[in-house]
Structures are given as C-alpha cells and as structure tokens.
Amino acid sequence: MTATTDGSTGAPTLRAAAAKDSTTVTPPLEHGGPAAAPTAAERATARAVDHLLSRQDAEGWWKGDLQTNVTMDAEDLLLRQFLGIQDERTTRAAALFIRSEQRPDGTWATFLGGPPELSATIEAYVALRLAGDAPDAPHMATASAWIRAHGGIAAARVFTRIWLALFGWWKWDDLPELPPEIMYVPKWIPLNIYDFGCWARQTIVPLTVVSAKRPVRPAPFALDELHTDPRRPNPPRPLAPAASWDGVFQRLDKALHRYRRFPVRPLRRAALNAAARWIIERQENDGCWGGIQPPAVYSVIALHLLGYDLDHPVLRAGLASLDRFAIWREDGSRMIEACQSPVWDTCLAAIALADAGVAADHPALVKAADWMLDEQILRPGDWTVRRPELPPGGWAFEFHNDNYPDIDDTAEVVLALKRVAHPDPARLDAAVERAVRWNLGMQSRNGAWGAFDADNTSPFPNRLPFCDFGEVIDPPSADVTAHVVEMLAVLGRQHDPRTRRGIEWLLAEQEENGGWFGRWGVNYVYGTGSVVPALVTAGLPASHPAIRRAVRWLESVQNDDGGWGEDLRSYRDPEWIGRGASTPSQTAWALMALLAAGERDGKAVERGVARLVETQEEDGSWDEPHFTGTGFPWDFSINYHLYRQVFPLTALGRYVHGEPFAADRQEA
C-alpha cells in the first residue's frame, strides 16, 4: 500500500481526482444567497469540499490512515522473527518508524503528548534490538534505564510478556493460564467466549492455543538490561484477599496452572481442534481476521503451532492480509495500521459532502452509495449467538469483516444513504430496511446499543488476570446509542417505543456537568457532539433542560482560541474532562452539538467557526496530530486521519446551509 502526501492510502492508479468544476454545491440559506459575496465560512466549505472530493477512490470509497502506536510495528517484527520470515527491507523500514516515535526521555507513548508507557517502550526497545540497534547506543541505553526504573519486564502487561515468552525472555509459568477448554464452556455459563467483546474473543481463542503449546523460539540475545534484578526477574506478586473477586480469579488461575500439568488429554486435543476450526471459520475472504491486526497475528501463530505450514492457503492468505496493514512512507519508514476504516470514513465523508451542499445526485455521492450498498453484510455472524432469529443487514467498519458488522457503522451508513438521490431508489430502500431491522434487533435490554453485540455486559471477563489491557466487553454507549436514535428519527421512527427507550437511556446517562461520556471518541466532547444532534433530531426542543445543560457545558470548556479539545487523560483524570489543545475534529463535534441546539448565532459558534476557518490549510484540509479516537478508552488510542477533514466540513456545512432534516423535525 502506498501513502500520498495528504496521508490518504490506496493505489495511486485508483485515486479519483474530481475536477473542481464538477462540484455542485447548493446556494447558502443565508447571507443573501448566491448573489452575495461568499463569507469566509462559505469559502472554507467550498475548499474543503474540493479537497475531500479529490481524495475519493475510483471505486467510491474514502480511507484515511489509522494511526495508533508502535506496539503494532514492534509486534509485526516479533511475528516475523518468530516465523523466520524477516527481511532486511521491512526490518529497516519498521525500525526507522519506531525510532522516529521515540521521545527525548527514551520512552514511547501511546498517543501524542501522552505519558510514557512501559509496555510500549519495552516492545519498541526489543524490536529495535531485533533490527540491530546496540543496547549501549545512547537511545537504547536511555530506554532501558527508564524501563528498569519503572519495574522492568515484570511490570509489563500480560500481552507484552506473552511476546517475550515466545522467545524465552519470560517464563510461561509466570503468565496467567488460558486453557483451550474454554471453547466448551456453554453460552449460558459466565466466561464463555461470547461473554467477551468480539475484538477480545478473536484474540483470546488463538491465544488459548499459544498458551497450551507454550512455544519457545530461542532469542538471538538476552534482555538482562530490562530486568530490575536479572537474578530474580519475576518477584512474586501478592495475592488479593480470597474474599475479593480479584482473589477468586487469582486462585482460579493457580488451579488452571495445576490442571495444565495433568490435563484430560483427549479433551485438550479436542479443544485445540475446536479452536482451530473456530479460527479458520472466521477468516475473511481477504485472509484477515475481523479486519484488525492483533487477532490476525495471533491466529497465524496459533495455526502454525497446530501444524499449518507457512505455505498452507490459510496462512498464506493470513500473512498477505497483514502486509495490507502496512503503510510505506516517503521517508522510507513503514507504519502498521491496527485496522482500516473505509466504511466508516466513506459514510462520514458522504454525510459531510451532503451537509456542505453537494447535490444529492452528485456522481461522487452516487458512487459512494453504490460502494456502501455492495458492502452490506447479508450473512450471519457471531452476533447471532444472542440474536439467533434476527436477519442480517449491517455494515462493518473495514473492507472485509463479515463476521462482525457493527451497529455504529450501520446507523451512520443509513444516514449517509438517506442523503443520496440514488438512480435505483428501490435498491437503496431495501438496504436501509434491512439495516434498520438489524439495528433494532441488536438493542440491549436496557434500551441502548453497544457496538457489536447485544447485552455484552458480563462483569467477569474484565476480572481475569489475563485481561489487564483495555476493554474486553462491549456494553452500550451513549455515542453508539445516539447514532442509532438519530437514524431512527430521520426515518420517521422517533415515536417508536424502541426509539423512545433509547432516548430515555440517553437522558439518564447525561453527566452532572451536562456532557455525555464518549466511548469511541475523545471523550465528553465526542459523546456530547453525538447525543445532542440525535436528541434534537428525535424531537426534543432546544429548550429542553438536557440540551441547555449540554450547551452550557460546551460553552464553559471552549478554549481561548475559539476551538475545543479534550486530552485522552480525561478517561482517567476528571481534571482533564473537556480540556486539551484545540483540534479540528473536536471543535467540529462541539459545533455540531451547538448548531443542533439552535445556537447558530451565539458567540461560541461564531468563535468556533472562525477557528476552523483560520486553521484550514491552503488546499482545503486541516492538520491534526492529536489522537481523538479510541479503540479502548485510554489504553488504545487512535488518530483517524480523515476525522480532520470530514468533521470540520460537516460543521461548516451545517453552519452555512442549516441543519440537515430540519424540516422533518418541524413536522415531527
């Protein structure tokens, strides 16, 4: 995969360069119509439209880079070392990128400006040693000194220590046990694999194989410099009180370690075979697993340990899919995406263009709609475990992920499709009907929606000693629920009892400060920017107390420069809620909420719009180095490179042209 100078990806031969004179933008609703001189906001909107159109792929989709942190790159090199498939060019390029992300104190963080992160620093250090960097080189010595000062390898998370155990740098006995027999835990018993969120489930199943096999490929060097005391690398950890949940699960882990020494061998063999079948059945047509990198990495390792050689079609396809997560940069470095977001990026881009006044029958929007329609998933996936009678009809986030469509993408795709005048309206309407039926069927018992599953709320998976990194369950969230409510309201279902239950849940979830928590975007600015437009679209008046509290909170956290920003530390430290450097995407989210709340002529909106206009680049784009997306709040942060384009355009478009579906709201 190649990278263009604007950060977009895709083969250059497929890049669509839409001519500026092909853009059809409807006249503004105010400022005297087309006869009046365009305002700064109108000019910025037009430039942003041209820029976004120029980034559409010839097939109809958009995709920006999905930037995370160097553990993706480090683990890619570790995988290649483990399988014996490393090559000099890839190693050199990955090391170049990893070095470029190191900070002056020798550490690596997981987001721009974030604190040093021990596990990320260990993995980056080990990857650079594999690439040939000497341990006494200044940048390496500084890193290892910091690692030792912060507890060494023994203080790293479980997943980091698993990678080190693969090479004998850590003892398997000193890791939590994860037996493959978990495959046979019935679905009605806690801790069955479907109690885990889909991303965790896809990772845990192959790791049961790795845990059972305990492979060790001898390392080319020792890592004594990363232990606080190399003679005693793993000091014993204190047991939690037996009466506590942590104590219960620690003692369960000790029992599983004893079982491992004397397993029921026929059961163990059958469980390993069941895990292999489960993994292979969920491989996508392009070779990946779930459209995300971590499950693909562990699935390749697991199947290889079970006897699948690297030339087996399953592993050949899996390894080829991992190569597609790589972005080669102009400086010769290579960055690994944890995931790719074409469906999400495309529906958001289509909404932004429509909000900016691009005609509903514009070829770019029609082409985008055609591509999205082709991506609808019409076969069952893991979600049928809890909804066995529900017909399919959702969309996934990625190019290929038919097993795990998600509720959020499905809602936003429908909102995008409703903005397009498609030449085959019957085809579009049928797709929307399937999508709405599926989303309604995925509503959880409390009236809200999670991302991938219904009622994925068990409290037990997060307590396993194995699960010390990120969310492993998928409970309902305000942002996803808001997008579904908005979709239902746009379709005229605002009075449907299921919609009303979603609205009631959202109102109950409002924080005392007036904002809403953001699960999939940072953080309260994202949650509030999602919920307020949804509630207003569903018929709540701008005068509603919940809307007024949200407006007051957004006004109170606006930065002096007119923008909005929120640091990822807000997930852990309430002092950071609503605080951070202004970013284009977060400024746009705040504006989208304020505009929906009827604040178009307010001072806060005026200053926010001015901020977007002032920070726009000459080519119509915006720059945004900060991370404003999440995979797991705090633990895994994302910089979606297209967010900086689509959300500012959406906000400016709504400022210039008015709120979408305003007439429908008035009729409701």
DSSP reduced 3-state for 157:
coil
Say whether 424 is catalytic.
Answer: no
Q: Which amino acid is at 485?
A: V
C-alpha distances out from residue 341 to 325, 372, 398, 409, Å: 11, 13, 5, 10
Considering 408, 409, 453, 479, which one is annotated as catalytic? 408
Q: Exposed, middle or buried, 142 (CB in 10 Å: 0-12/13-18/19+)?
A: middle
Contact status, residue 407 vs residue 451, Cβ threshold 8 Å: yes
Q: Is 503 helix (H, G, I), strand (E, B) or coil?
A: helix
User: Residue 471 region, left (φ>0) first, then alpha (ψ -120 to 50), else beta?
Assistant: beta
- Given its phi and psi angles, is residue 218 left (phi above 0), alpha (psi -120 to 50 degrees) or beta? beta
Q: Which two tokens stand for residue 109?
A: 């963080």
Q: Round to whole Å and give the CA distance between 88 and 92.
A: 6
Task: Please check whether residue 116 is in contact with residue 107, taking contact to mean a CB–CB distance below 8 angstroms.
Answer: yes
Among candidate residues 483, 395, 398, the one with its CA nearest the CA of residue 435: 395
Burial class (CB in 10 A: 0-12, 13-18, 19+), 414: buried
Any idea how long the chain is?
A: 668
Q: Measured in whole angstroms, how far is the alpha carbon of residue 2 from the centre of its chain?
A: 22
Q: How does DSSP assign 264-276, residue by residue?
A: -HHHHHHHHHHHH
Beta-strand pair 629-632/636-640: antiparallel
Asked if residue 407 lies in contact with residue 480, where contact means CB atoms within 8 angstroms, the answer is yes
Dig out the tokens for 264 from the structure.
């029921």
Which residues, 6+ apart, have CB-to-CB distance to 242 below 8 Å? 248, 251
| 3-class SS of residue 2 | strand
User: Distance of alpha carbon 386 from its chain centroid, rounded?
Assistant: 23
Q: What share of residues in the chain are helix, strand, coil (percent, to 5)?
A: 50, 5, 45
CA 218 distance to own-chain centroid: 34
Q: Which two tokens stand for residue 645?
A: 């384009």
Locate 110 and state its tokens.
């997981």
Contacts of 233-240 spanning 24+ positions with Cβ under 8 A: 233/152, 233/153, 233/154, 233/170, 234/154, 234/170, 234/171, 234/174, 235/154
Residues annotated as catalytic (active site), given as ranges: 408
